[in-house]
């Protein structure tokens, strides 16, 4: 497994995108791996677009250049399409197909996936919101998807579990650990 990994997480405000990047960053630090990160969010509190960049093992700046991300995790399909230009050709896209309507409007999920498929055929797309609800709560979607993505990252499962125990409020730790482990065990 390569020690370097550029990962972009995209979604809308309130989905726990920033928390996901904190968990990943802390796991890197725990393993002694250099890490840089950046977050970009505008009207995030109102359901606006949010993106975080995590550069594991990188000696460059915190922002991933266009066309260079190894992994794209999209907690919402339209956000996956919006940020797909960061993904390198043949990179891995992990896309939650559950839509969060903007101004009450929906769209065809297949249209968003079509845009992503222009960049890569390595797509894992499913309604991960429903999967996280089965484990315990839709609020753990972000951690569930980190579990799905872990197999492509240079991090150890044990480090991620330890960080989840220390980074998440105590009353939500068990639910998030269960969601993370379910994501690690995900198979289509």
Task: Please report, for the chain, the start and end positions of each structural domain, with discontinuous segments joined by +.
Answer: 5-98+107-184
Task: Look at residue 45 and tell me whether its pLDDT is greater than 70.
Answer: no
Q: Is 106 helix (H, G, I), strand (E, B) or coil?
A: coil
Alpha carbon distance 39, 51 (integer Å): 6
* Chain segment 23-44, per-residue pLDDT in tens: 999 999 999 999 999 988 765 5
Q: Rounded mean pLDDT of 80-91?
A: 96
Q: Is 124 helix (H, G, I), strand (E, B) or coil?
A: strand
The CATH number for 5-98+107-184, chosen from 3.40.50.620, 2.40.110.10, 3.40.920.10, 3.30.70.3340, is 3.40.920.10
pLDDT score of 163: 98
* Chain segment 126-171, per-residue pLDDT in tens: 999 999 999 989 999 999 999 999 999 999 999 999 999 999 999 9
pLDDT score of 178: 97
pLDDT score of 106: 85
pLDDT score of 3: 87
Alpha carbon distance 2, 105 (integer Å): 41
- How far CA 186 is from CA of 147, 149, 159, in Å, comes to 8, 10, 19
């Amino acid at each position: 497994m390569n020690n370097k990994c550029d990962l972009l997480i995209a979604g809308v405000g309130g989905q726990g995108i920033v928390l996901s990047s904190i968990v990943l960053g802390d796991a890197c630090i725990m393993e002694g791996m250099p890490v840089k990160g950046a977050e970009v969010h505008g009207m995030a509190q109102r359901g606006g677009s949010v993106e975080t960049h995590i550069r594991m093992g990188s000696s460059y700046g915190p922002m991933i250049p266009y066309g260079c991300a190894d992994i794209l995790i999209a907690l919402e399909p339209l956000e996956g399409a919006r940020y797909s230009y960061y993904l390198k050709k043949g990179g891995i896209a992990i896309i939650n197909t559950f839509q969060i309507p903007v101004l009450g409007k929906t769209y065809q999920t297949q249209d968003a996936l079509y845009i992503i498929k222009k960049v890569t055929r390595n797509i894992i797309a499913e309604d991960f919101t429903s999967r996280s609800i089965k484990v315990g709560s839709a609020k753990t979607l972000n951690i569930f998807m980190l579990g799905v993505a872990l197999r492509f990252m240079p991090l150890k499962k044990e480090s991620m579990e330890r960080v989840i125990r220390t980074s998440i409020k105590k009353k939500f730790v068990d639910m998030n650990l269960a969601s993370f482990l379910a994501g690690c065990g995900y198979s289509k």
